Structure 1
Amino acid sequence: MIASARFAATLTLCLFSLPATAWAQPQTTAAGDAVALYAPDNLTAWLVMFTDSVKRTPAERAEMVANFGFTKVGFEAFKKYLPILEEQMDEYAKRDIEVTSVYLVVETDKPSEEEQVKQILDVLKRRGETPQIWAMFSRNSFKDVSGEERNKRLIAAFSDLAQCVDQSGCQLALYNYGSWFGKLDVQLAIIDGVREQTGIKIGTIFNFHRGHQHMRDFPQALQRMMPHLFAVNLNGMNWKDADYNGGGARIMPLGSGDHELTMMRQLADSGYRGPIGIIDHRSGVDAEVALQENLTGLEKLREELKSPAAE
């Protein structure tokens, strides 16, 4: 394992190595806005559990996240991790790290009655915490119904979930996992339908690693997403993967692709100023190694963002 005092100090220095003047004054240029969006204090550690090759305890995981300088993190509430939800939140809290999102995959047309949903909301209520709830159906759901019928059932299911999430003081967002569930038209139809049925505003989460189908029209897609966009998670992107919409994600470290810099500029230009997620999500890789690679790549990209885009 790489977790040593020297490693933590080196990585923290890398993460906060921009000159103080870069953060001491309001950013007024487009380049400055782009750099500020990806500043260390706007980063969230995401997907640091289920693909981690090192089976860390909740305390070890929290220590790893803290050593990188993160103050915000998400929790992947798959069923096998539900028993440690409260313990993991305790360990994060000891290190002044806020759990800002809890992610789950719902399975039925009545999510509010699912035991996993009840358990998550019970823990959050008991703790008095209100992270966003990021939810999705698997791409294997609704195989035997038409698109129109599927959308009706999705709207009904997420209306049910939105009401119990809203009662808990949390916000609900659709987690863009690619495939049919990640199609922008489907997500916007659900968002609008839930608002019409319940009066509750829900949002969406955009993942670069599940967003290759929007590489060609990203500015236009962002314009449609912006009123509902709660968070964006970064990934290395290659132009050769434009239009990809298959089942498997294309996971690459930041700075190793040829198109993430363009998309990051476009995201900043859209006016988005919400949280930015830094992911692990590479099977068989130590989460500490993956996060280090992404943060190192992000530092390089931030330097490039200081300069205007080439014409």
Structure 2
Amino acid sequence: MTRALSLAILLAALPTRAADPPPRLFEHPNLFAWCIVPFDAKKRGPEERVAMLKQLGFTKYAYDWRAEHLPTFDREVGLLKQHGIELTAVWFPANLGADARALLDVIVKHKVTPQLWVTMGDPGGADQAAKVANAVKVLRPIADEAAKFGCKVALYNHGGWFGEPANQVAVVEALKLPNVGIVYNLHHGHDHLPRFREHLAAMRPHLLALNLNGMLPDGEKLGKKILPLGVGTLDLKMLRDIAAGGYAGPIGILGHTQDDAEARLRDNLDGLAWLRPQLAGTPAGPFPKLRTHPGRP
């Protein structure tokens, strides 16, 4: 018997550890809370917000802010680390000015590596090529700076030219940087619904995060841009399309109203829990009673 064969037999006899299962896309460990800092009727501070996240079982969190929140960002990140909550992403300016530097200083201090979510308006230019080039000119310094600290930059769709998936893909591919991708928001994608599968397929190689929202046809035009999950008539279809499209990254649960942020997050979690079994073909049970919305029509 050769030495190599003997070693192979010995290794085969050793007990093996099963590989960890991949995270389930719409299960709680893969979810993060988003849009709950300026969007909160109770105007929680860092301590109250982190306590709320713990109470709701979130282990991931994306930070949005206004100028008045920046002085407490350092304290908030410290509390997140203390309680084992990942800072998944930070809303980030389309520049490296004073606010950006304040955010980066805290990120570096605490040795965290959140995605930096950047949006911008029309970058200007006479044609598509010029617009892409101008967007690249704005974003490259941010991406280069983020790379120094191990952070990725995600282009955030927020309407207009920059919010179109095809344009974002073009910008990412023009940048050719390994730390640049896309975060896609359903609540800013109502006009994309007729071609959502096509857009998702184009974005998927670059998709770093995806934020859910209750969706229905022409929802934004009807004044129903932000809905709890399960209320939208297209929600089950959207979840199926996302799962079938091969996306496997983190999933955002939206606040983004002036309700109590905890109540709104609970409504979305309950709506998602109602939808999840239906993905496997289980008939829908009773719809949950919501706290911030009348419920399904």
Q: Do they superpose with TM above 0.5? A: yes
Superimposed CA distance per residue, residues 93-120 of structure 1 (whole angstroms, 9 cap, x where no aligned partner): 22211111111232xxxx23x1112221
Equivalent residue, structure 1, for 2:32: 44
Q: Is 1:146 aligned to residue 120 of structure 2?
A: no
Q: Is 1:55 aligned to residue 43 of structure 2?
A: yes
**Structure 2 regions of 5+ residues with no counterpart?**
1-19, 284-297
Q: Taking structure 2 as the reference length, what is the TM-score of the superposition? A: 0.82
Contact 2:136 2:174 in 1 (8 A): yes
- Computing the radius of gyration over CA atoms, which structure comes out larger, 1 or 2? 2
Q: Percent identity?
A: 34
Equivalent residue, structure 2, for 1:117: 100
Structure 1's 231 and 152: CA in aligned 2 closer, same or farther, altered over 3 A?
A: same
Equivalent residue, structure 1, for 2:7: none
Contact 2:36 2:261 in 1 (8 A): yes
Q: Is 1:222 aligned to residue 210 of structure 2?
A: no
Q: Equivalent residues in 2 for 1:225-264 (5 A)?
A: 225-241=203-219, 250-264=225-239
Structure 1's 176 and 90: CA in aligned 2 closer, same or farther, altered over 3 A?
A: same
2-structure distance, mates of 1:222, 1:44:
20
Equivalent residue, structure 1, for 2:75: 87
Contact 2:186 2:213 in 1 (8 A): yes
Q: Is 1:127 aligned to residue 110 of structure 2?
A: yes
Q: Taking structure 1 as the reference length, what is the TM-score of the superposition? A: 0.79
Superimposed CA distance per residue, residues 215-257 of structure 1 (whole angstroms, 9 cap, x where no aligned partner): 111111111001000011100001243xx689x8810000001
Q: Is 1:204 aligned to residue 154 of structure 2?
A: no
Q: Equivalent residues in 2 for 1:174-213 (5 A)?
A: 174-195=155-176, 199-213=177-191
Superimposed CA distance per residue, residues 178-219 of structure 1 (whole angstroms, 9 cap, x where no aligned partner): 222111122112101211xxx444100011101112211111
Structure 1's 78 and 135: CA in aligned 2 closer, same or farther, altered over 3 A?
A: farther
2-structure distance, mates of 1:56, 1:44:
18
Q: Number of residues paired by the alignment?
A: 263
Contact 1:58 1:91 in 2 (8 A): yes
Contact 2:214 2:227 in 1 (8 A): yes
Letter in 2 for 1:126: K
Cα RMSD after superposing both structures: 2.3
1-structure distance, mates of 2:266, 2:200:
28
**Structure 1 regions of 5+ residues with no counterpart?**
1-24, 28-32
1-structure distance, mates of 2:224, 2:170:
24
Contact 2:147 2:179 in 1 (8 A): no
Secondary structure of the residue aligned to 1:87 is helix
Contact 1:77 1:104 in 2 (8 A): no
